[in-house]
């Protein structure tokens, strides 16, 4: 799936989650820039529900509230390998921002797949898309990023307490600066969707 740069820019601009994932700052999304507001003009609330952290920033004088949900994707050993933020793009549709550590092979991109959760109402099977491949769009001073509009099956996995899986290749820190091309190691990270539906409800309170 080719990611449009405008979606990435818009999503980054609209996200309100700060570094709520303590100890994993390079995988957390940037906060709303409070420097452009006077003290007390931005009211922040947050909560943790299941695997998800939810942060809402309310710009009091504008009567606008921005919320986003964050979770970490971990490998089999429990190490954080990706940071995932769910918010909305400028068209109001659900979108995701993925942060990856330095060392990811940009040309390979990132494979995204899902594990369905609870059955849909009336016992209908959840939709399952084939794996998609995302391009890494940009890197900032801390991490590399990409963004995309969530598919129906990804939303179903999120709301049904399933899982979203990410797979990419990366160079280990010990090999950085050497001949990087031949032997990048595969990395698999799983984001648990447990608590996502409840976290969404928390943003509406």
DSSP per-residue letters across 150-194: PPHHHHHHHHTT-EEEEEEEE--GGGTTS--SS-PEEEEEEEE-T
User: 114 exposed, middle or buried (CB, 10 Å; 0-12, 13-18, 19+)?
Assistant: buried
pLDDT at residue 17 greater than cutoff 60: no
Q: Regarding predicted confidence, which is higher, 128 or 124?
A: 128
pLDDT at residue 95 greater than cutoff 50: yes
Q: Do 142 and 26 form a contact (C-beta atoms < 8 A)?
A: yes
The C-alpha atoms of residue 77 and residue 161 are separated, in whole angstroms, by 21
Q: Is residue 21 very low, low, confident or very high in pLDDT (cuts 50, 70, 90)?
A: very low
Question: What are the tens digits of pLDDT across the range 40-57?
Answer: 677 777 888 888 998 887
Q: What does the pLDDT average to over 154-174?
A: 87
Give the pair of three-digit tokens for residue 82.
């990706």
What is the predicted pLDDT for the residue at 85? Answer: 92
What is the predicted pLDDT for the residue at 9? Answer: 53
What is the predicted pLDDT for the residue at 8? Answer: 52
- Looking up residue 160, the CATH number of its domain turns out to be 2.60.40.1880
Q: Is residue 182 very low, low, confident or very high in pLDDT (cuts 50, 70, 90)?
A: very low
13-22, 89-98, 185-194, range with the lowest pLDDT: 13-22
Neighbouring C-beta atoms of residue 132, cutoff 10 Å:
16
- 153-178 burial code (b ≥16 CB/10 A, e <16): bbbbbbbbbbbbbbbbbbbeeeeeee
The C-alpha atoms of residue 145 and residue 99 are separated, in whole angstroms, by 5
2-6, 114-118, 186-190, range with the lowest pLDDT: 2-6
Host domain of residue 187: 5-203
The C-alpha atoms of residue 52 and residue 17 are separated, in whole angstroms, by 12
Backbone angles phi, psi at 165, to 5 degrees: -110, 140
* Count of domains observed in the chain: 1
Top mean-pLDDT range of 4-8, 53-57, 76-80, 87-91: 76-80
Residues contacting residue 178 through CB under 8 Å, at least 6 positions apart: none
Neighbouring C-beta atoms of residue 121, cutoff 10 Å:
6
pLDDT at residue 168 greater than cutoff 50: yes
What is the predicted pLDDT for the residue at 92? Answer: 74
Q: What does the pLDDT average to over 173-178?
A: 49
Q: Regarding predicted confidence, which is higher, 50 or 65?
A: 50
Q: Is residue 31 very low, low, confident or very high in pLDDT (cuts 50, 70, 90)?
A: very low
């Amino acid at each position: 799936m080719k990611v449009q740069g405008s979606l990435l820019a818009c999503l980054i601009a609209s996200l309100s989650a700060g570094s709520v994932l303590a100890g994993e700052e390079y995988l957390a999304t940037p906060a709303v820039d409070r420097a452009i507001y006077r003290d007390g003009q931005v009211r922040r609330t947050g909560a943790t529900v299941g695997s998800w952290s939810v942060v809402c920033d309310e710009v009091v004088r504008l009567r606008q509230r921005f919320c986003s949900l964050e979770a970490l994707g971990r490998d089999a050993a429990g190490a954080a390998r990706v940071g995932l933020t769910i918010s909305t793009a400028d068209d109001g549709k659900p979108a995701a921002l993925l942060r990856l550590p330095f060392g990811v092979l940009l040309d390979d991109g990132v494979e995204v797949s899902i594990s369905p959760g609870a059955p849909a109402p009336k016992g209908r099977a959840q939709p399952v898309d084939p794996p998609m491949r995302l391009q890494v769009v940009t890197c900032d001073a801390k991490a590399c990023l990409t963004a995309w509009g969530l598919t129906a099956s990804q939303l179903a996995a999120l709301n049904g307490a399933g899982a979203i899986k990410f797979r990419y290749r990366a160079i280990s820190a010990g090999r950085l600066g050497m001949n990087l091309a031949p032997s990048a190691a595969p990395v698999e990270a799983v984001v648990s969707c447990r608590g996502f539906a409840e976290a969404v409800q928390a943003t509406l309170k």
